[in-house]
Amino acid sequence: MQELKGINMSDTFKIAVAQMDPHIGDLPHNRARILDMLREAAAEGAKLIVFPECALSGYVFDSAAAALSSTETVPGETTSLLAKLCAALDVYCVFGLLERAGNDIFNSAVVIGPQGIVQNYRKCHLPVLGIDRFAAKGDSIPVIDLPFARIGLLICYDLRFPEASRSLALRGIDLLIIPTNWPEGAESSPDFLTRARSWENRLFVAACNRVGEERGTRFIGRSQIIGADAKFMAEADGASEVILYAEIDPALAREKRVVIRPGEFEFDPIGARRPELYGGLDTPTA
């Protein structure tokens, strides 16, 4: 584990997960909705507000050309607006957009705070689905230190790969944030995969999905905030725009050794690893 520098170990903070219904290609609408929901969540005391994957753009594009007018650069118009609002409200947010970078489009999620852009994460695992068919892959899975927690981001399909969240847990994150666009057919994620990632790593997990429909693809909502003990702290339905809230105590994710009855029932999902037996997990598949 890396040492945690400059993070107060005793503070809790309120997280908000803003399940929204982006309109495909309608950036002005989506941008306004993000800003509105961010103001609402900040007024409720949230310090970190999470929006879905592709919250700014929508997802079901049939070509890179069709998506181009729905992209932005990072930094760009929306990150600048959000940076100003985060500074005014003294909050952090995570939102998903299609990022234009040279000739590439990335499916990205950006962490923004009062100081501006903190980190841009580019989705690393891409399914054959929607804009991901035409997107470029990210090339790192960073840990991100906020004043109140160490976090990591994974976008949608990234969650399927246990190595990604494990790698973040081994680098000491408290909270795994998942901006996502779970469509029909991806019920496995809210049904069991989010809790598995919490349970195997003893992490808080905040998954922000969208609702609504794009070109025949319906998205299933069910955004979730999950405790370090893999229990639900908050869960949304499958159809409504709604903001979930939960109070996060990062210290609960930092003590990996869990003592149910001292000397009789204890477990440690990090300390009991046997890495010498897992050969090949971080070397390419043959």
Note if 53 is an active site residue: yes
CB of 215 to a second copy, least distance (A): 11
Of 161, 139, 141, nearest in space to 151 by CA: 141
Question: Which CB, 47 or 125, lies closer to a second copy?
Answer: 125
Q: Which of 97, 230, 244, 248 binds a second copy (CB under 8 A)?
A: 230
Rounded to the nearest whole angstrom, what is the least distance from the CB of residue 54 to a second copy in the complex? 16
Give the CA angle between residues 268, 274, 278 to the nearest 5°. Answer: 130
The verdict on whether 123 is a catalytic residue reads: yes
Alpha-carbon span 125 to 137, nearest angstrom: 7
In the set 72, 123, 208, 214, the catalytic residue is 123
Residue 214, by phi and psi: left (phi above 0), alpha (psi -120 to 50) or beta? beta
CA separation, residue 116 to residues 94, 111, 162, 208, 256 (Å): 12, 9, 31, 22, 32
Select from 125, 150, 210, 254 the one that contacts a second copy (CB under 8 A).
125
Q: Please select the residue that binds a second copy; options are 199, 239, 249, 251, rule is CB under 8 A.
A: 199
251-270 positions binding a second copy, by CB under 8 A: 260, 263-267, 269-270
Binding of a second copy by 122 (CB under 8 A): no
**In the complex, minimum distance from the CB of residue 172 to a second copy, in angstroms, rounded to a whole number:** 10
Type of residue at 127: P
Task: Kindly name the residue from 54, 86, 93, 156 that is annotated as catalytic.
Answer: 156
For the four alpha carbons of 19, 218, 29 and 119, in that order, the dihedral sign comes to positive
- In a 10 Å sphere around its CB, with 0-12 CB exposed, 13-18 middle and 19+ buried, how is residue 256 labelled? middle
Binding positions for a second copy, 46-105, rule CB under 8 A? none
- Of the residues 14, 47, 53, 208, which is catalytic? 53
Give the pair of three-digit tokens for residue 285.
Answer: 């598949």
Report the 10 Å Cβ neighbour count for 274: 6
By the 10 Å C-beta count (0-12 exposed, 13-18 middle, 19+ buried), 184 is classed as: exposed
Catalytic, 5? Answer no
Instruction: For the CB of residue 178, give the shortest distance to a second copy in the complex, in Å.
Output: 14
The binder of a second copy chosen from 35, 87, 129, 136 (CB under 8 A): 129
Using CB under 8 A, which residues numbered 168 to 187 contact a second copy?
Answer: 170, 185
CB 59 within 8 A of CB 218: no
Q: How far is the CB of 256 from a second copy (least distance, A)?
A: 10
Q: Could you give the residue numbers annotated as active site?
A: 53, 123, 156
Binding site for a second copy (CB under 8 A): 1, 124-129, 133, 137, 139-141, 157, 160-164, 166-167, 170, 185, 188, 191-193, 195-196, 199-200, 230, 260, 263-267, 269-286
